[in-house]
Amino acid sequence: MDSAGAEPRRERVELGARSTDVRLGAGLLPHIWAAVRARFPAAARCGLAIDSHVAAHQPLPAAPADLEVLEVRLPRGEAAKTRESLSALQDAWIGLRRDEPVVVIGGGAALDVGGFAAATVRRGIPWIAVPTSVVGMADAAVGGKTAVNHAAGKNLLGAFHPPALVIADVRTLETLDPRDRVAGLAELYKCGRVSDAVLLTRLREGAPTDAEAWLDVIHRAVAVKARLVEADERDGGQRRLLNYGHTVGHALERVLGNERLRHGEAVAIGMDAAAGIAVGRGLMSDADRATQRADLRRLGLPVDVPAGVDAEALQAALGMDKKRASGAAHVFALPVGSTGARIVEDVTDAEIAAVLTAKRD
């Protein structure tokens, strides 16, 4: 992955005073402090939250002498999304002025907690997202959803607080666990399926193999997300299309945990389940569903619920209730035809149960 020296690609999420500028490139991380300085010239201090695994593999350049960095190391991955991590960040950053930013470096979990801490200090200080995973670049860094988990469920404490700047350096993907890199392809495929047929075609050609190919598909996914967020920042309408694969996916994650099933793997299985419901409703042909299954498998992603999953636990995680009338409604983003998707708000327990129990090749 080497295109150092090339101008970064640019994208923008236009939300007025809360807009996000996105920079994508190979070899951007070594220039991180110059980017902070350029954007916040008056800052004497800067917060830094970094995933401890990333810190061990991605040495950062020294900060300039005139910039005091208030650093907190976060536990690796989903373990960072706790109120304990949030408190540690708030304690470290409480003295920052509102023109002094924080930089958050890591995968989706680090961005979620770091962004949420930034949202709470002085009712919102600016932050710079530096995603180091495919999911972080294509999804978590863009759109301003920030959160920590609560015992009652994932992401239940959070805020909409878009970063001022996203710096996505695809070289950081080189040290990502290959399983996580592959899992992240599910979020890219989702964006293609929802509204970018060119992205879908690129992914059908196989997983990206060099920096330019990664930049190309991530940039396209970011653009898909940016347009949906601009149209519906608060997630009451079209933005919900980005939940394609996530209804069943989140339930599987809750039942199996992140070690057994990565987020992207759960989303891939969830996309096939949603496609099954779409086929049952005549929104999509069985052949289009088979194409999607083949595409996902070619990328190295699972499409079937893993053997041994407790069916009752999965149904409970989905909010299904066998005592309730089968007309109980669930909201799903369902694929339509060979590309595109729509929000459907009346999916029944019976439809979900039918796709989860059906056997496929």
Site for ligand GLY in 216-275 (CB under 6 A): 235, 239, 242
Q: Which is nearer to ligand GLY, 225 or 289 (CB)?
A: 225
Site for ligand GLY in 102-121 (CB under 6 A): none
Q: What is the rounded distance in angstroms from the CA atom of residue 260 to the CA atom of residue 247?
A: 18
The mark string for 12-51 relative to ligand GLY (x by CB under 6 A, - otherwise) is ----------------------------------------
Burial class for 181, CB neighbours closer than 10 Å (0-12, 13-18, 19+): buried
Residue showing the smallest CB distance to ligand GLY in the complex: 242
Phi, psi of 84 (to 5 degrees): -65, -45
Q: Quick check: helix, strand or coil at residue 178?
A: helix
Site for ligand GLY in 307-336 (CB under 6 A): none
How far, CA to CA in Å, does 193 sit from each of 187, 196, 322, 338?
10, 6, 32, 8
Q: Which is nearer to ligand GLY, 131 or 143 (CB)?
A: 143
Which residue is it, tokens 């996914």? 221
Which of 123-146 are b and which e, b meaning 16 or more Cβ less than 10 Å from the residue's Cβ?
eebbbbbbbbbbbbbbbbbbbbbb
> Shortest distance, CB of residue 225 to ligand GLY, whole angstroms?
7
> Shortest distance, CB of residue 235 to ligand GLY, whole angstroms?
6
Q: Quick check: helix, strand or coil at residue 14?
A: coil
Tell me the site size for ligand GLY, rule CB under 6 A: 6
> Shortest distance, CB of residue 242 to ligand GLY, whole angstroms?
4
Handedness of CA 334, 336, 340, 343 (dihedral sign): negative
> Shortest distance, CB of residue 100 to ligand GLY, whole angstroms?
27
Q: Which is nearer to ligand GLY, 60 or 119 (CB)?
A: 119
Q: Which is nearer to ligand GLY, 138 or 284 (CB)?
A: 138
Q: Which is nearer to ligand GLY, 114 or 143 (CB)?
A: 143
Site for ligand GLY in 129-148 (CB under 6 A): 139, 143, 145
Q: Which is nearer to ligand GLY, 126 or 249 (CB)?
A: 249
Residue 312 parent element (H or E): helix 311-317
Q: Quick check: helix, strand or coil at residue 238?
A: helix
What is the chain's Cα-based Rg? 20
Which of 37-65 are b and which e, b meaning 16 or more Cβ less than 10 Å from the residue's Cβ?
beebeebeebbbbbbbbbbeebebeebee
> Shortest distance, CB of residue 288 to ligand GLY, whole angstroms?
23
> Shortest distance, CB of residue 140 to ligand GLY, whole angstroms?
7
> Shortest distance, CB of residue 279 to ligand GLY, whole angstroms?
24
Q: Are 240 and 343 in contact (CB under 8 A)?
A: yes
Q: Are 297 and 269 in contact (CB under 8 A)?
A: no
The mark string for 175-204 relative to ligand GLY (x by CB under 6 A, - otherwise) is ------------------------------
> Shortest distance, CB of residue 334 to ligand GLY, whole angstroms?
16
Q: Quick check: helix, strand or coil at residue 146?
A: strand
Q: Which is nearer to ligand GLY, 125 or 142 (CB)?
A: 142
Q: Which is nearer to ligand GLY, 13 or 121 (CB)?
A: 13
Binding region for ligand GLY (CB under 6 A)? 139, 143, 145, 235, 239, 242
